[in-house]
Amino acid sequence: MLAPRPVVRSENGLWALERVLQRNGFPLVAGADEAGRGACAGPLVVAACVLPVGRRGEVPGLADSKLLSPEAREAAYDEVLRRALAWSVVAVPSTEVDRCGLHVMNVRAMRQAVLRLDPSPSYVLTDGFAIGGMPAPALAIWKGDRVAACVAAASVLAKVTRDRIMCDLHETWPEYDFARHKGYATPEHAAALTEHGPCPQHRFSYVNVRACVRTGTAAEGLRQTGPMDERTQVVA
């Protein structure tokens, strides 16, 4: 007799997929996601998170970080840290994005973020694309931050951490207005790049940044990552 097939129940909403995995022998489901992939300045930040089973894991206001207001993200961030069984954040400096490539460093940081979780997960959900070398079975989910709560929680951790880093960098390089656009290629950012040239936090491998390089601008080797939380690891 065939075993019954797992059923994902829509009434469980963002927690439906995790509930199925937990009912089928995978109690510790980790989600992993990134922030800053599309930016041309600042670090790439990756987070991983395991939420507890049951009501405690149902974080109020949790959603894909891109769908939340800054205030709602901050509130969700605090709740995730308070409730999570395990979480980690990894930041990849712009120098490493330039040296190794964005996708290579994204994969490396996502794997590292998951490997740093304690307790180790029994299943891993990643946003967008598959990651090899995980400590448990893993599944890549398209728009995972809108489908799985643990991925949404990781997206909030990554986004809030990166936004804070960019606000700190704004204090050193206010002419780029990093606090407003967070390093993404807005028209205002493009105008500042044209006027001032890139700073050490820009990704020099990006066409729009390299086009603005001038003689005497900051050397790539002089870049700094900026302030980090004590739980945030820097990949080098």
Q: Is there a contact between 11 and 173 (Cβ–Cβ < 8 Å)?
A: no
The pLDDT tens digits for 112-171 are 999 999 999 999 999 988 999 999 999 999 999 899 999 999 999 999 999 999 999 999
Q: Structural domain of residue 111, as residue ranges?
A: 11-170
Gap between the Cα atoms of 31 and 153, Å rounded? 7
Counting the structural domains of the chain, the total is: 1
202 DSSP assignment: B
* 148 domain residue, yes or no: yes
Check which CATH number belongs to the domain holding 15 and give it.
Answer: 3.30.420.10
The pLDDT tens digits for 172-222 are 999 999 999 999 999 999 999 999 999 999 999 999 999 999 744 444 433
Gap between the Cα atoms of 22 and 8, Å rounded? 12
Task: Report how far apart, in Å, the C-alpha atoms of 157 and of each of 45, 66, 73, 162 are.
Answer: 9, 12, 9, 9
CA-CA-CA-CA torsion sign (190, 204, 207, 232): negative
* 205 domain residue, yes or no: no
Q: Is there a contact between 32 and 162 (Cβ–Cβ < 8 Å)?
A: no
pLDDT of residue 12: 56
Question: Does 119 sit behind a cis peptide bond, omega within 30 degrees of 0 on the bond before it?
Answer: yes
* 193 domain residue, yes or no: no
* 161 domain residue, yes or no: yes
Task: Give the H or E element holding residue 124.
Answer: strand 123-127
* 93 domain residue, yes or no: yes
Task: Report how far apart, in Å, the C-alpha atoms of 159 and of each of 97, 104, 120, 215, 218 are.
Answer: 18, 20, 23, 34, 27
Residue found by looking up tokens 């991925």 in the block: 151
- Predicted TM-score (pTM) of this structure: 0.87
* 196 domain residue, yes or no: no
Task: Report how far apart, in Å, the C-alpha atoms of 44 and of each of 28, 202, 209, 214 are.
Answer: 26, 12, 16, 25
Bridge partner list, 29: 123
* 163 domain residue, yes or no: yes
Least confident of 58-72, 77-91, 143-157, 216-230: 216-230
What is the average pLDDT across 6-28?
79
* 69 domain residue, yes or no: yes
